[in-house]
Structures are given as C-alpha cells and as structure tokens.
Amino acid sequence: MKDLVSVIVPVYNVEKYIHRCITSIINQSYSELEIILVDDGSSDSSGLICDEYALKDKRIKVIHKKNGGLGYARNSGLDCATGKYVTFIDGDDYIGLTHIEKMLTLITETNSDTCMAGHTKVYSNREEKHLNVCSGKIYKGNAKEQILPRMCGANTYGQDYIEMSVCMVLLSNEIIKQNHLRFVSEREYVSEDLVFDFEYYPLSKSVCISDDADYYYCDNAGSLTTKYRNDRFESQIKLYKLLSEKAQEIGIWEECRERLQNTVLAIARYSVKLEYKFANVNGRKAAQSNVRKICQDSTLKQIFAEYDDKNIKMSSRAVNYLIRNQHIILLNIIMHIKNTFDI
C-alpha cells in the first residue's frame, strides 16, 4: 500500500492563481494524496473555486475559516492531515508533475523522515532555478547542526544559505503530531517558517536533499517583502531574540550567531532605505524619527559590538557604520541616492 501524502494549501484571495495551483497538485504523477485546501476567509471567489474542485475530486478537503493569517491556516490543515508525510504549497504557487514523487522516492531510498528540495523562482519575464546548496546529501542525526544554521541566513561571504521555507519539503507527520508542532502567526513573527523549522529539525533523524527544483515560487505583484511596514525592523529583532534563545537551548548558538546577526543588519539597512523611500508618503519627520529609533535599538547596538563586518561588501559596511554611529543626515543622503538609482 502506498504512503499517503497530505498536501496543505493555504488559500487567501488568490482567485487569479488558485486554478493553476490545484491543477498542478491533482495532476501529480504520485496520486495517493490528501489535498487540504484551507480558505482563510477569502473575500474573492477563491473559496468557491476550492469547493468546485472538491466536487470533482474526492481527494480534496476544503476548510473555510475566519481570516487568521498564513501560519494559522497551515495549522488548520495540520489538524486534519492524516498522511504519513505532509507538504505545503502556497495558493499562488504551483508544482511540477513529478515534484512529490521525486521527494517521496528519495525519502524511501535513503530511509529518511524528511526530504528537502530546491525551487524555481518565476518572474513575469523569466525563471530562475535555485537548487538546494546541499543537493545529494543525507544528514543522519545531525540535521540541527548542519541545516538549521544555514537556514538562519548566509555567512559573511554570502554563501551556503538553505531556503527555510516549509514549502518544497516533505515532512514527517509523525514528528509533527507526536510533538504537537504548530506554526506561530506571521503577524507575530516575521518568519513563521523558520520558527517551525527550529522546532522540527532537532527531532528529525534523517534528512535527504533532492536536486529537484519543481516547486514554482511565483513573484506576484504586491509581495509583502516589497511593501512598507513600519514594524519590519522591530519584527526582525523579535525573531532574532526568539531564535537566539532556541539556538542556545539546542546547543547551536555559535553556529547560528553570525548568520542571524547578518540577517538583522541586512534588515536594518533595508528598513532605513524604505523609511526614506516612503518619506514623501509618511512625512520626512516620521522617517527620520523611525530611522533614529532603529539606530538606537539596544539589541542592534549589542550586535554591532560583537560583529566583525570586514568580509561583507564595502557598501553594506559603509551603511553599517552610519547606522552604528547614528549619522542620520548622511543616511538620508545615501539612501536618497540608493532609492533614486534603485541600488
């Protein structure tokens, strides 16, 4: 008897893309699937589209719930997932015909409980294939040391980052259920996937890495990463503190420290850039006040005290210097140039 795979798809206002997503799942070469579509309070026709597919394919279950965000939508799917393995697909993405079969075959051949793959980034005019940097490797009993630090961000040379998304991964439902693992809200933490990873991978006994890149991650207009958020930096600091605690608890803080700090500093620079980019909308005084708040953050000051940035790009090092020394006027000038020329 074939192993059942639960495919959980959070759905929220993606009527333009959900047909493509669901079709790519129901047409998989591996057919022993439990397809769970979680309509997270959509205000468009997404929920109705899901119901229509459920009438055509008995493998599909539809959950309609009040809007609570991506993390909680995934939890609703986990609550009713009965498969041996679980994978997640976002409602505006899609997967290649053999995506699930390839991961399941590798997980069986290597006697692993988890399989990670790469992805293909889809833009309006091109596609970029991103293979997992550890393709072909198997980690038995040491996933937390080898994988989790790389999920925290790149090293100072910008190398060996592993995508922390729970999409493009086949997870053990036994590990999830026995340990009552659930997602935090992305409204509380900026990366609910990474928080989940820190709970899951220390419990995994063997992780295999596929050279598959048939998860198609679509760069749709209005992505959260390109929008202005006045709490972007604060959310990153909150995540940094949580992951720092978790890394210390499981004994991998030294492996994670530099990477987590790299990410905080990158977000600090980006947040400053966005503050000045949207200064005409939010007001120049508000922008300068928010930039000053970032520069004076106590956790950021602590990171600067520990951090050696000699190996990062000169331009990033220069902005770090201005933030560390609270040169607000110079930051204004530099960011005006960066925003004008999109650099």
pLDDT at 309: 86
pLDDT in tens, 38-60: 999 999 999 999 999 999 999 99
Distance CA 53, CA 56 (A): 5
Map out the domains of the chain as residue ranges.
5-222, 228-341
Better pLDDT: 171 or 232: 171
The share of the chain scoring above pLDDT 90, in percent, equals: 83
The residue-averaged pLDDT of 192-204 equals 97
Is residue 93 within 8 Å of 24, Cβ to Cβ?
no
The residue-averaged pLDDT of 177-193 equals 95
The share of the chain scoring above pLDDT 70, in percent, equals: 97
| Most confident of the ranges 139-143, 189-193, 201-205 | 201-205
Is residue 167 within 8 Å of 120, Cβ to Cβ?
no
pLDDT at 20: 98
- State yes or no: pLDDT of 23 exceeds 70: yes
Residue 325, token pair as written in the block? 């020394």
pLDDT at 158: 65
266 vs 154, 254, 317, CA distance in Å? 11, 19, 10
pLDDT at 125: 92
In 3-state terms the chain splits into helix, strand, coil percentages (rounded to 5) of 50, 15, 35
Is residue 96 within 8 Å of 207, Cβ to Cβ?
no
- Class at the top of the CATH hierarchy for domain 5-222: alpha beta
Share the mean pLDDT of the chain.
93
- State yes or no: pLDDT of 331 exceeds 70: yes
The residue-averaged pLDDT of 283-302 equals 95
The residue-averaged pLDDT of 191-212 equals 96
pTM of the model: 0.93
pLDDT in tens, 96-120: 999 999 999 999 999 999 999 999 9
- State yes or no: pLDDT of 226 exceeds 60: no
Q: Which of 164-173, 225-234, 328-337 has the lowest mean pLDDT?
A: 225-234
39 vs 70, 176, 183, 195, CA distance in Å? 10, 22, 17, 23
